[in-house]
Amino acid sequence: MLDWTLNRIMTCIIAAVMAWVAFGVSPQVRAGELGCSNISVPVSIAPGAPKVYSIYGKLCHPDAGPSDVIQILVHGYSYDHRYWALPGFGDDYDYVKVANEAGYTTLAIDRLGSAGGSSRPPSALVTFQAGAVSLHDVISAARNGAVPGGPYQNVVTVGHSAGTAIAWIEASLFQDVDGIIATGFGHPFGAVQGLLLNTFPAFLDSRLRPLVGWDLGYLTTTPGSRDDLFYRVETSDPAVIAYDEAMKGLATSGELLTLSTGELGTLAITVPVLFVMGEYDQIFCLGENLGGFVDCSSDETLYTSERIYFPLVSDFEAYVHLGAGHNINLHDGATDWFDRAAEWMSERFPQGH
């Protein structure tokens, strides 16, 4: 049984490495993104350590120019910055466009260890804590003027799934953000078994192997598993799911081993929080097919389920994206929650340039 599990994990890790090569980060700014540029920020993976790694980010400004508020967008497990503006599908899945039109600068990053343009340290070093430290270095760069258009007066992190957990840990450790929009991660962590059973070594994927070599701790999802893990098929475009499968990226064993620390990351947060879940999130929601524990049936039930985990937060709101699964950005009607996020931002960080 152990041999079978290890073999399955090895198979999954290889498939993920190949996916990103075919859909790698382009150094060119797409048509219609004239306010965007590609940047690189030096980062470390431990407090006080040398900044020997780098994080890639796509920086986008409103038409009027840089805002004094920046949203730093942090993707989830086995994704990259494209989760926030899905290429090739128009405006239907473009959080960045909505945020920019609302007057906010955005920086969509590739987390360390992803299949995007950032560094890939040895997989064992890419933990949630390392992710939080590297995110802190990006936030510091935004505040001190090292990110073009800055220095930025206010920084809001916007996370999805593992990216949300890392943003929580970062905020608790460093107390350096002004707000958090948290999506796709809840308490307690629900269907970890579904994620583990659908994970394998990325070097088994011919597209991803060149990115990770023989580092067996780099992982991806098993072929054909993303629809059940991350989507409610009834409210998703099959073409989006197919593209997601083709572009799937990397995660690490270090992240899987530190999953539980993400949930503890909320206890010291003090800034305003918008907490968002898909109604049918298969990983976290009560009664869904992978067995989560969060009641996602309404804004009120979600608030009741999660409020207790943010004891120091005085400004806490919950929002359920109706009809969506785990990947709320990639479901039908995604602009509904994009608009809700823009409204929440405007109430707390009125924009001026």
Instruction: Give residue-wise pLDDT tens across range 59-117.
Output: 999 999 999 999 999 999 999 999 999 999 999 999 999 999 999 999 999 999 999 99
Q: How many CA atoms lie within 13 A of 84 on its CB side?
A: 29
Q: How far apart are CA 279 and CA 324, in angstroms?
A: 6
The yes-or-no verdict on residue 26 having pLDDT over 90 is no
The yes-or-no verdict on residue 2 having pLDDT over 50 is no
pLDDT of 188: 74
Q: Within the chain, where are the H helices?
A: 2-22, 95-101, 128-144, 162-174, 192-197, 209-212, 226-230, 238-247, 253-257, 259-264, 299-306, 334-348
Domains of the chain: 2-348 (3.40.50.1820)
- Residue-wise burial string across 56-89, b where 16 or more C-beta atoms lie within 10 A, e elsewhere: bbbbbbbeeebbbbbbbbbbbbbbbbbbbbbeee
pLDDT band at 337 (very low <50, low <70, confident <90, very high): very high
pTM confidence score: 0.90
